[in-house]
Every structure is written in structure tokens, then in C-alpha cells.
Structure 1
Amino acid sequence: MDSLKEIIEKIEEPLLFSSKDSYKYLPLVKNLEITILNFSRQLRAVINMYEEQDLRQSIFRQTIDAFDDTFAGFDNLSLQDKIKRLEKGNLILYKLKESAETVLHNTFEMRSQTEVPEIRDVRFSFEKLALPVRFIKGVGPKISALLEKKGLRSVEDMLYFVPRRYEDRRYVSDIKSVTYGSRATVIGNIVKADTKIYGHKRVFEVTIDDGSGLLTAKWFKGNNLYLKRIFKNGMKVIMSGEVSSYLFSKDIVHPDFEIMDDKEDGDESLLHFKRIVPVYSETEGLHQKYIRKIMSQVIDRYVQYIVSPIPMEICEKRHLYNIQDALRNVHFPTKNEKVEAYNEMQSWAHRRLIYDEFFFLQLGIALKRKGNMLDKGVSFNVGGKISQIFFKILPYKLTNAQKRVLDEINADMEKTSSMNRLLQGDVGSGKTVVAMAAMVTACENGYQAAIMAPTEILAEQHYNVINNWAGQLGFNVVLLTSGIKSKVRKEIYSKIEKNDVHIIVGTHALIQETVKFAKLGLVVVDEQHRFGVIQRASLRQKGLNPDVLVMTATPIPRTLAMTVYGDLDVSVIDEFPPGRKEIKTKVFVEGQRNRVYEIIRGEIIKKNQVFIVYPLVEESENTDMKDATKMADHLQKDIFPDFKVGLVHGRMKSKEKEEVMIGFLNKE
């Protein structure tokens, strides 16, 4: 005879099939009533075999009875009635599974951080956490489909669906008492909701009255038809945001809001008021109140099954709170917490979750680093004749910092294991010449070297510099980018595969399958943060564990570098060549834009040049920023009409880019 678990799994199969794709296959299902009732009889037969009759078994029998009642007469129902019964049946099936667990196992008790759960309990916990979201109370097929779009497929996913921010609703203000510039939460009834036109702008406005005064909420962006549909006169709403003024009225622009329901019972309303309230990232079709209600049930029912494998001594050493308590408070902070700490993700609860995430990230990186050390690579002979010639043709001497990092790189290249090193240094510190020295070593040993840059413009700059050096050393260099014509590109592919070129400079084009290296020994990646691990790994796979050198100008503290680039050894060029000026980094906010323009103007008047790196080549619907072309036009016409503004981006033709760059070099 099958076990309880096996029978329940057999029941689950036709129910899942019938519910699949919004009940698409339900009309094809025949005799479901007979099938379910047959399995119910088998469940009763198994439960009767237990000698001990207790409350848990009694509850299990009652659940079976409810299941039978749900599917009684099912086959003769209309399609819509069948769907309703199936939704109810899926919930009861979940209760059956839960009841079966209580029959087979002792009741699972919450454990403190210092208690180690048994293997059986851990397995039981994992099964609970792996439950699909559709089995959470109040979550049917439609809601689960919406949650799955957000990547929330299991109970565990829901538990770690952390709020994006928090709203302090412990104190609701009277409209009369709120002050301009402060952040406030108010409750009132809608007295007016409509679109107004200011010049060429359409603004949706909702005016509320709480008996003490009026406040107007304004939306300058958004779907006005949608807003008009949801806001109706007489509705009670809660609004939260920064209070501003317009012609003596109190306004909140783009407020956070919720429509209040007078039918909510006391317990449910306490989820949304008189507390610090979590606000989750938007999920289309799901209101915040409904998400909070689901999350409250998930926390109450399932947080007890979360088990952290971080050793107790580490938790105690780092003063970390219990992971279950941390999850409870991340979702629903207690009343005495500071909302600022939660909004800044600096609360003790966030700290525990962040620590767990970084712990396992670093554990994974440590394992990868260990694996890299075991990978057999190329052992290069360093300091050869061509390397010595290279240093002699340089018009300057290397700085002590350059010599130090080059010694570190050479030591890596001599080893039989693959090099994995991060070379960090400000712009102008001399990273390229150090990378070139490493590439010369690889080529002198009969291997190819590749350097990959994030943009075609940067790749072309590298090519011009490297080709000048390589030509004096007898090495062939090619440039490979997606902008090169097909015929020329095929010729380059052939040369790379035949080992007719020593150094290949390129962009993402280097990691395409059509590029086959004859003998790749060294990979140099410029500006790692613009690529990512996958691209770096793709290029590395084109050689037999080639050495990897990653260059970055981003000023990263060593401790952070160990976190972000934990699988890499770190070398830092912390000294500038003679005559190079110090690099100063400053951050300006949007309100200081004119100040930045004045600094630029001042430099140009001093006969200096300025370049602006802009994030967008073309407009995006996800941001209201100008694209590079429009911004260049704006700067030329409106900001710097007395000076010449040029534009270079990756989508321009090579000839156009070259003309602009030559003009910049010639200070035109």
C-alpha cells in the first residue's frame, strides 16, 4: 500500500494539470470526481493503520471529509463552478499535506539560534519553504501567476522578498498641522479628483479633506486615465510624502497612497496603520494592502522553518540576531524601531540578512579562488630579451609603484597555476604600459595575448598605443570590433586562428564563437565593471586556462575590492609618473548642475579641454534623461554657445568618430 505522502502526490498531479495555464486543460479532464474519491478512500485506509488515535489524526480525517465534499458532483458542474471548486480543492490539498506531516512527524517547534536542528527537521523545513506560492492562504492561480512574474515562486522566495522602503504610520498628522518641507502621512476623504492643464502639462490632482484642512496630491507623470478610474469622490485615502506649497495650498507631488476600506476588521487594519508599514516593490495587479496581508500570513506560518547554517560561534562573535526574528522585523518592524534605520537598510534585522548574503557570497568566491589555484595554467619565462627591449624603447622610466605591481604580475605568470589579478590605478597612473609588459612576456613565450575594452572608442585608443609599441618589437597587432566590415573581420578571424597575430585588441566581439585563438596565453580585461563575470569567463574559455589581468580605474578600497573581486589578487598603482597632476573626484547633485557648468566654463577659458561621459546614446522610456545627441545639442545651443561641443558615441561611423577625436586632440 502507498504511503500518505505518495497518495497525496498522486492526488496533486491531476489537480495541478487541471489548474495549469489558467485552467486551459480543465475541459479535457474526465472523471476527476471518481479519481479524487478513490484516492480519499486510500488515505483513510492508511490513516486507520495507525494504532495511536490522537487529535492530529482526527484533524486529518476532517480534512479528507472536506476534500470529498468539494469534489462531490464535480464532473456534472459548469466550467466556472469547476474552477471555483478546484481553487478550493487546491487549498484543502495543501491542508492535507500539512496534516499528513503532523501525523508523520512531531510538531516542529521554533528553535533559538543556539540550538542545532536535526537532519530530519531540516529536511522537513526545506519541504515547507519549497512549497509553491499558490498554496499560501489567499493565493490562488491568478495571484500566484502575478507573484511568479516577480520571481516569487516559493514560500522561501516570499520570506526574502524584502520591502523596498518603510512608511511611518505610527503618527498620522492633521492636514492643518503639517508644515512645508516636512514628510507627513495624512488621512482624508476625496472631495475632488480630475486632470488639470498647466500650460502644456497635464497634471492629475486629488484633493482630500480631513476636517482640519485640504491637501492636494499631484501626478505630473503617470496614466491619468488609470488614476481617474481608481480615485472617486468620497473615498477615504491615506497619502504620504513631502509637503510642498503652491499658491498657499498644501501639496504632495507623486505621493505614496492607499485607498482605505471601511470593511477591514481590526486585526487586518493594524497591518496598514498605527505602525511602521512595509512598502514592497510594485507588482502589477496587486495592491500594497493585499501584499502585506499575504506577507503577514507567510511570516506567521512559515518563518519558523528558516534555518541558518552559519555557525553559532560566528553569529555570537558578530552579535547577529536570530534569523527568524530578523525576517519578522524586516517585514513588520516593531513599534519602537527607528524608521530611518529601516529605510537606510541599516537596522539590526537588515544587518543580519545582509551578513548572511555576503557570508555565502564570500564562501562561494573563496571556493572559486581555491579552484583557480588548482587550475593548471601556463608557466611563462619572464624578463626575456624582448621584454628588456620594450623597457628601453619607453621614453620614460617606470615608477616604483609600476615596478612593484609588475613584479607581482611576473611572479604570477611564472607559476604553473593561472594568474587572476586585479590591477587598480587612477587614470594616468600607467596601467596600460604594465599590461603591455605582461602581453610582451606572453608573446615572447610563443603565446597570443588579448585585451578587451568595453567600448569601440576605448578599444581603438588601446590599439593605437599598443600597435606603436608592438611594431618596434616585431609583434603583429589587430583590432577586432563589431564595427569592422564583414570581409575584413573574416580575414582577422583567419589570422588569429593561424597564429599570424600576437596581440588582439577588441570589444565584446572577442568573445563571439567565431573567434578561435591559436594559442591564447593572456587575457587583459579593461574596466571589469562594464563587463561582468560571464564575459570574462567566456574569453578565458577560448584559451587553455590563460592568465587573466583585470584593469580598473575605479577607486575601490581594498576591503571592498576583496568583496567584489574576491577571486582576484589585487595590485594597486598608487603613484603617478612625474609631471602627472593629482586626480580629484567630486560628486555634485542635480541642484548644483549650474555650478558644474561654471567649472567647465572656467577650464575652457584657461585654454583647457573638457569631456563629458554621458550614460545614454538614445532616449529610454525608463528615464527622463536626455540622450547623448540631444544633450550635446543642448550644451552647444543653450549652455556653451561660445565654445565648440563635439559628440562621439559607439554608433557613429568610424570615420566620423576619428574626425571628432582628431579635432579634440588638435584642440579644435
Structure 2
Amino acid sequence: MNSKTDTPIRFLKGVGEKRGLLYGKLGIFTIEDLIHYYPRTYIDFSQPQAIASAPYDKPCAIVATVVAKTGEQRIRKGLSLFKVTVTDGVSDMIITFFNAKYTVDALKPDTEYLFYGKVAGRLTRREMSAPMVMVYDESQTFLSIYPLTAGLSSKLIQTNVTQALELIQDSIADPIPSDLRRRYELCHSTFALCNIHQPASDHALEIARKRLIFEELLVLNLAMSFLRTGSKTETGTKMGDISLKHFYNTLPYTPTNAQARVIAECTSDLCKDVPMNRLIQGDVGSGKTLVGAACAYFAVQNGYQTAMMVPTEILAEQHYRTLTALLSPVGIRLGLLTGSLTAAQKRNVKAALANGEIDFIVGTHALIQDNVSFHNLGLVITDEQHRFGVAQRLTLSHKGSNPHVLVMSATPIPRTLALIIYGDLDVSIIDELPKGRQPIKTYVIDLPKRHRAYGFMKKLLDAGQQGYIVCPLVEQGETDLGLESATEYAHKLAKQDFKGYSVGLLHGKMKPAEKDKVMRSFAEGKTQLLVSTTVIEVGVDVPGATVMLIENAERFGLSQLHQLRGRIGRGSKESFCILVSDSDTERLSVIKNTLDGFKISEEDLKLRGPGDFFGSRQHGLPQLKIADMLTDIKLLRLAQDAAAELLAGDPALSQPAHILLRGQVQNMIKNASI
């Protein structure tokens, strides 16, 4: 950056205070922000069409002069139209403008104009309605179209961008060193910025896009690497190989072949000189918790403590109960640390942890507080880890001497996204469900069929089974009066359709003690039907639950729907998921037709992009301005290679040629909170 690029946008000629506020709505506050606010698409004017041969089915550009204008015709109050006849010298065309007196008055008969829109009418009478109009300039072959806010047009943004580039282009310094640009065939940043906004040709645009995409992915990879620095140095917790026979003998079931394979991969890592950094991916219900328990047993037998960090208290409590059942028979002492414990309870847990009286601690973000210390931390496990930033995970690791790290996720992540999030992790996949599990049958229904679905659910409840009804919101009118409210809905169901049945309610605004009471009642079979928000998305395991109805299913991402569906089908009985929606049924058919979480995640990424894939920016990745991790996979791999090469020669990016790049990396870490 330099002093010119740091200039507030309001000081750019023609912007001022008022437009500066509008730019602020787009996240543009400085000239630097403006020149990196890239067009979302382009209109190509390079090959104007003749009026007679213009296509009917798609917008096109026509160069013509004005022959005649009609006066204003008032259609109704607030709507008037104007008709203008134009010619290209061979054929004529009638153009209709609506409420555009200023535009029509400005058209001069001796000037060539470019009209862009869809041509209609007959071969002998061609027409166009409400086209984009500009004075024809043979040198301008593209019009850049930007994401907009009210009060700013693409034309205005392009004008301001042109001014900004003219102001600073003599002083643009390229953050990518020249030798790296040559090796990866990248243009200079000045050429890239000029041609991303005002392409000289298709080829120039392609060159500019390649350069800017590569740069963005390079900075992202460097930022992630900076946060992981030190993870591959020698571990202070190298373990000795011990037998898991005693652990396996106490289990109430036999692990699947996939579980046994992944456990063996993990214990092999635990015996190495460098810390384990392994990701375990498995669909909902595949048994990742058992793998974590086996690794914890292995660590404890080697004299080390284990910590498991999870994103919510309800999930921490679920894991604590499950792990206690698995590990207490082999003498492992477990503890639970969450924010809702009393001050005295927290003091006791922390003291026991520091003294080595707790072998395995399960907790939320409370584990990374400064006053939490370990006697001998050797293994860190994070579950549903995309909900933590990398920095949070590293904070927990720093409480030990380079401990081993095991990452678990029930959210299948597309390989393209995993390349960034887990660039330095080995990956294990549990691709087998425990025996006895039956596939979940999924149906998509419209609102009129809802009561028929209720009847089906009641038959299952009468047979001693349990069910969920999931709603997107907590209180009526929270954001949209058209959506079902979990609170109101639960009361209505208990009084009407499910009168006489035990109906519970669970939502995120409840206190932890209240949630625990509700879930305990459901887990013990005292509650037959649980009405819930997405707080049950992860962790709640009730084998008796065999049916789930999801209201307003179109409001959820596909991966989230798959996670919710995973709360049923945990036992041996046939299970059913019913998606209620009057819209978006084509997208929902993806859920209906497959139980493969990885296929669903690929579709979800295509539909929503990485920025929204996990919802509410939970994945800890910054918003990318131009790169697309689904389509730019080749450049992503090249950028990873370049990042590794740079860091191998200059780990801190402290050499003069790398200072600008280092600044970009630090800005990304600061702005994205990764």
C-alpha cells in the first residue's frame, strides 16, 4: 500500500461525502478498496449486430443513429413511454423507453449510439424495449457490471475506478516478486487491475483474472501457513506403541473395519517424532467418537492427558456422557469444563486438570482460557472443528509441548474446500456405518400434506418410537412472520394435532440447565416428540428417534439438512425424514435422492459458495473477492506450491522482496479472524 491507495474514497473526484457513504455499504472506504472491488460480469460490445440479423433469444449490442422520436405517451399514473426509431443504415428498429424522458431527450440524430438489449418483433418490424444506451466508442469493447447498492450504477463505479487507476497506476507496487511472476507466467499487478476493470480483449481479461485469482489464493495459503507455523516441528509427546486389546474387550460392540483402520492410522501417528495432524471425516453416525476414545486411551496409557474441544455446551455434555461410558470401564478419569459450571465447579475442575487428576477433559471454548493449565497434555481433539478459527485450535495446542492434534468432522467437506482448511492435515475417512443401521427414507412434501405427515408420525409414536419437528426460528416474528416459530408451534401442536402426546421444546436461547433437562427427558423416552431449532444439528444421539419433520426446509443449506437428518436412524429401526416446503423442491431433491454426505456437500458448495457453506462464516475462512475454490482448483494447487516454495526460503517473509506480500497476509489474518 501507499499514501495514494490509502486515500479515503470521498476525496476521489466526483464522489464526495454522500456517495462515499453509499460506497461504504459495499465495503469500499479507500481507493485501495475500490480498485480491488472487481466486476461480477461483463457485457461484450466487441461484435455489434446488424438490426436485421440480431438474435431473438439473447441480449445483443446494436450500433445505430436516431431517425425519429414520438412524444410522451402516458399509459397510467406513474408510467409513461417514449418510442424512438433508429437505423443502422440498412434496417430500422423501434425502441421503447419507459419513464425515461431525460434519456430520450439526450439522444441526438447525428450521433452513433450503442443500444444493448433483447430484440423482438417481426423480421419486417424489429423492436427493443428499455435497452442500455451509451454513445458508441469503438475502443470500448466491454462494459463492467459490478455488485451494486441503491444510488450507485455500474457506469458510475467504472468511471470512479478509471479515475482511481489513473491517479495511482504509476505508484502501484507488485506484491508478487518478479521471479515468481515469471515462473508462474503471471502479469504485473498494474496490468491485472487495469484489465479486470476495463478489459482490452478477452485474452487480456483472462490474463488479469489468472493473476488476481493466483494472488488471492497465494495470500490465503500463506496466511493459513503462518497460523500453523511450528506444527511440524519435533513433538514433545512422542508415544510408545501399546496394545488396545483391553480397551476393545470392554466395548459393548465390535468396531467396524473402517473404525479399526482409522484408529490404527492415528496410533501410528502418535508414535512419530512429529505431532499428528490428522482429520477424521465420516458421515453422521459413522462412529468418530469411538476413534477419539481409542486415541485418548492410547495417550493416557502413555502418561499423557487428552483434551476435546467442541463448539456447544449441549454437544460437550453429550460427548462427556458417551466417552464416560466408553472409557470409565478401563479406569480413565474424565472431566467436563463449560461456561455454565459454577465458579466453584470450574475451580475444582481446573485444579484437578493441573494436578493430573483428570485424564481426559471435554469442554467448549472454556478450555482455551488463560487460567486453564494441564499437567501433561499430549493429545488435542477438536470436534465439528469448522466452527473454530485456526487460531483458537492453536491456542489449545499451545497448552502442551507440541501435542498431537486430531480433528473430527461429521460435516463432509468437498475436497476443494478441504485443500485450504486442512492443507497440512492427513485425512482419514470412516466410510462404513455400524452394522444394523438402516438407510433413512426421505420425502419432500408441500404444506397441504403436512397433516397427513402428522398422522404418519403419530402411528410411529404410538408404536413406542420418538420424533423431531425442526423449525428455523425461535420466536414468532423474529425475522419473518411467514415462518413457523418453534415456541408457538410446540404449544399449538401440544394442544391440537399432538394432544395427549408428550411434546418437548428445545432452542438455543434456553439456559444450559434447561436444555439438559429437555434432552435428558427425550433421551430417556419420557418425551415422545421434540420440537427444536437447529440446536440439535450435531451431537444429540437418541436411538429411539425414528422420524423427523423439517419445516421451511428451503431455508436450510443442503449440508445442514443432512446433519439434521443424521439425528435419526441411530438405532436398528427404519427411519423417515420429511421435508416440508412449497418452494425449491428441485434443490431439496438432492437430499431426497442421496444419503452420501460428500455428494451433498459438493452440491451445497456449488449452490452457495464457500462463503456460506457452513453458514454465518463459521468456517473461519475470509470472503474471497475473485477466486472460486470450486472452479479454480488448478490455480489453487499452483498457489499452494508457490506458498510452500516461498516459506521454505523465507519462513517469516522478511526479505525485502516479500514485505508487501507479508503485509497482505497480515491484513487477511486481521480482517478475516481466521
TM-score (norm: length of structure 2): 0.57
Confirm or deny that 1:298 pairs with 2:170. Answer: no
Where does residue 660 of structure 1 map in the other structure? 522
Structure 1 position 150, deviation (Å): 5.6
Where does residue 399 of structure 2 map in the other structure? 542
Confirm or deny that 1:159 pairs with 2:159. Answer: no
Where does residue 280 of structure 1 map in the other structure? 147
Indicate how the Cα distance of structure 1 residues 447 and 235 shifts in structure 2: closer, same or farther if over 3 A, else same. Answer: farther
Structure 1 position 565, deviation (Å): 1.2
Structure 1 position 506, deviation (Å): 2.0
Structure 1 position 390, deviation (Å): 1.0
Matches within 5 A, 1:493-504: 493-504=350-361
Secondary structure, aligned partner of 1:551: strand
Confirm or deny that 1:389 pairs with 2:246. Answer: yes
1:295-335 deviations in whole A, cap 9, x for unaligned? 12123443565455557787678776664444334334568
1:524-575 deviations in whole A, cap 9, x for unaligned? 1111112222322232233333222111122234454222211322222223
Where does residue 13 of structure 2 map in the other structure? 137
- How many Å separate the matches in 1 of 2:253 and 2:74? 76
1:232-262 deviations in whole A, cap 9, x for unaligned? 996769xx999xxxxxxxxxxxxx999x9xx
Where does residue 272 of structure 2 map in the other structure? 415
Where does residue 372 of structure 1 map in the other structure? 231
- How many Å separate the matches in 1 of 2:442 and 2:392? 29
- How many Å separate the matches in 2 of 1:656 and 1:374? 46
Correspondence for 1:406 among 263, 275, 279? 263
Where does residue 37 of structure 1 map in the other structure? none
Where does residue 555 of structure 2 map in the other structure? none
Q: Percent identity?
A: 36
Structure 1 position 353, deviation (Å): 2.2
1:346-396 deviations in whole A, cap 9, x for unaligned? x76544422221123224445655631125431122325xx4311111233
Structure 1 position 466, deviation (Å): 0.2
Q: What is the identity, as a one-letter code, of the residue corresponding to 1:660?
A: F
- How many Å separate the matches in 2 of 1:534 and 1:276? 42
- How many Å separate the matches in 2 of 1:661 and 1:236? 68
Matches within 5 A, 1:469-618: 469-581=326-438, 604=457, 607=460, 611=468, 616-617=473-474
CA contact (8 A) 2:490 2:505 kept: no
- How many Å separate the matches in 2 of 1:169 and 1:634? 60
Could you tell me which runs of 5 or more consecutive residues in structure 1 were left unpaired when the two chains were aligned: 1-124, 195-205, 217-231, 243-255
RMSD of Structure 2 on Structure 1 (CA): 5.4
- How many Å separate the matches in 1 of 2:477 and 2:117? 27
CA contact (8 A) 1:362 1:563 kept: yes
Structure 1 position 476, deviation (Å): 1.9
Indicate how the Cα distance of structure 1 residues 532 and 645 shifts in structure 2: closer, same or farther if over 3 A, else same. Answer: farther
Structure 1 position 422, deviation (Å): 1.2
Correspondence for 2:509 among 637, 651, 656? 651
Secondary structure, aligned partner of 1:371: coil
- How many Å separate the matches in 2 of 1:184 and 1:208? 25
1:8-55 deviations in whole A, cap 9, x for unaligned? xxxxxxxxxxxxxxxxxxxxxxxxxxxxxxxxxxxxxxxxxxxxxxxx
Indicate how the Cα distance of structure 1 residues 310 and 275 shifts in structure 2: closer, same or farther if over 3 A, else same. Answer: closer
Structure 1 position 631, deviation (Å): 8.4
Indicate how the Cα distance of structure 1 residues 491 and 280 shifts in structure 2: closer, same or farther if over 3 A, else same. Answer: same
Structure 1 position 626, deviation (Å): 3.7
- How many Å separate the matches in 2 of 1:525 and 1:163? 39
Indicate how the Cα distance of structure 1 residues 602 and 319 shifts in structure 2: closer, same or farther if over 3 A, else same. Answer: farther
Secondary structure, aligned partner of 1:418: coil
CA contact (8 A) 2:75 2:81 kept: no
TM-score (norm: length of structure 1): 0.57
- How many Å separate the matches in 2 of 1:167 and 1:644? 60
Secondary structure, aligned partner of 1:438: helix
CA contact (8 A) 1:190 1:236 kept: no
Correspondence for 2:194 among 316, 322, 328? 328
CA contact (8 A) 1:632 1:645 kept: no
Matches within 5 A, 1:100-139: 129-131=5-7, 133=9, 136-139=12-15
CA contact (8 A) 2:337 2:362 kept: yes
Confirm or deny that 1:362 pairs with 2:221. Answer: yes
- How many Å separate the matches in 1 of 2:436 and 2:327? 26
Secondary structure, aligned partner of 1:374: coil
Indicate how the Cα distance of structure 1 residues 632 and 622 shifts in structure 2: closer, same or farther if over 3 A, else same. Answer: closer
CA contact (8 A) 1:190 1:234 kept: no
Correspondence for 1:451 among 304, 308, 324? 308
Q: What is the identity, as a one-letter code, of the residue corresponding to 2:507?
A: H
Matches within 5 A, 1:27-426: 129-131=5-7, 133=9, 136-140=12-16, 152-164=28-40, 207=79, 209-211=81-83, 276-282=143-149, 290-303=156-169, 305-306=171-172, 308=174, 310=176, 323-332=189-198, 349-366=208-225, 371-374=230-233, 376-384=235-243, 387-426=244-283
CA contact (8 A) 1:369 1:568 kept: no
- How many Å separate the matches in 1 of 2:404 and 2:506? 33
Indicate how the Cα distance of structure 1 residues 521 and 614 shifts in structure 2: closer, same or farther if over 3 A, else same. Answer: farther
Q: Which has the larger radius of gyration?
A: 1
CA contact (8 A) 1:276 1:335 kept: no
- How many Å separate the matches in 1 of 2:171 and 2:451? 59
CA contact (8 A) 1:379 1:414 kept: yes
Structure 1 position 452, deviation (Å): 1.8
The structure in which a higher percent of residues are helix is: 1
CA contact (8 A) 1:424 1:551 kept: yes
CA contact (8 A) 2:250 2:330 kept: no
Could you tell me which runs of 5 or more consecutive residues in structure 2 were left unpaired when the two chains were aligned: 62-70, 84-93, 105-115, 119-129, 529-541, 547-674
- How many Å separate the matches in 2 of 1:446 and 1:542? 16
Q: What is the identity, as a one-letter code, of the residue corresponding to 1:374?
A: T
CA contact (8 A) 2:267 2:295 kept: yes
- Give the paired residue count: 481
- How many Å separate the matches in 2 of 1:567 and 1:421? 9
Structure 1 position 655, deviation (Å): 1.2
CA contact (8 A) 1:133 1:152 kept: yes
Structure 1 position 594, deviation (Å): 5.8
